[in-house]
Structure 1
């Protein structure tokens, strides 16, 4: 029995170190709270995705069901953390780029507003942000921005969105 328990433990241990929560692993993709605040909020709520289990049978079956449930809960919590942090304006950085993104945030560089590469399939969000920027510049006296604002306004109205200054 000890041998089976040891084999199960050896199989599970490599899976336990997969989740990291270092800010260097994430990059800011939009406006929202700091990484520490977003991570703490998501961390407090991630337990809500855990599922319970009921197992009746031999001790080996019950132990196997418990281990399977624990692994399923770990996967669900990891997915929840990923999605929660995305909603808060953070995502996992591609390998090797997280440290540079974190350094830019620490240096005080504001996050880039959502662009086409950050909001695929949602040109309306990008157009609204661009329209707002062009509107502010037009009010400041930039005539080229007034033309851009008019062009974007026509595209948005054709899509059923009526842009208006806030």
Structure 2
């Protein structure tokens, strides 16, 4: 399965719904831009965008909620180690309050993986960050970044946009 993302204006991106009714698009925004995301076995419908292979997943994406994307540049030789860490943790978020979905996305081009998590709310995400579950999940990382990081990771945060509410 593949995942695709692109950015643009909300008005332009909302046209994708009519142009490609065969796909289920997820719309999200932050203070910088609007992003649309979808998953498919087919080629991307975006003229310019980012293409990924879904390496690991849990849960179901929803039209509403809060999304956090950890963007992690990984060295070529570090890819197998990085991916294996996520593949081994089946049901990693089971039972975490407010958790909706997780995706580990390997880039088709470049070296920056995306660890996407979706939450019912920003508060649920913040509560998870201070939980014992979070501490246990990140215990082996210590204070330094693992050797397979090619550069410093960064996060992007989004609030979901329900297209049905915007188009009414």
Please give the TM-score of this superposition, normalised by the length of structure 2. 0.27
Q: Which has the higher contact order (CA 8 A, sep 6+)?
A: 2
Higher helix share: 1
Please give the TM-score of this superposition, normalised by the length of structure 1. 0.27
Which has the larger Rg?
Answer: 1
Higher strand share: 2
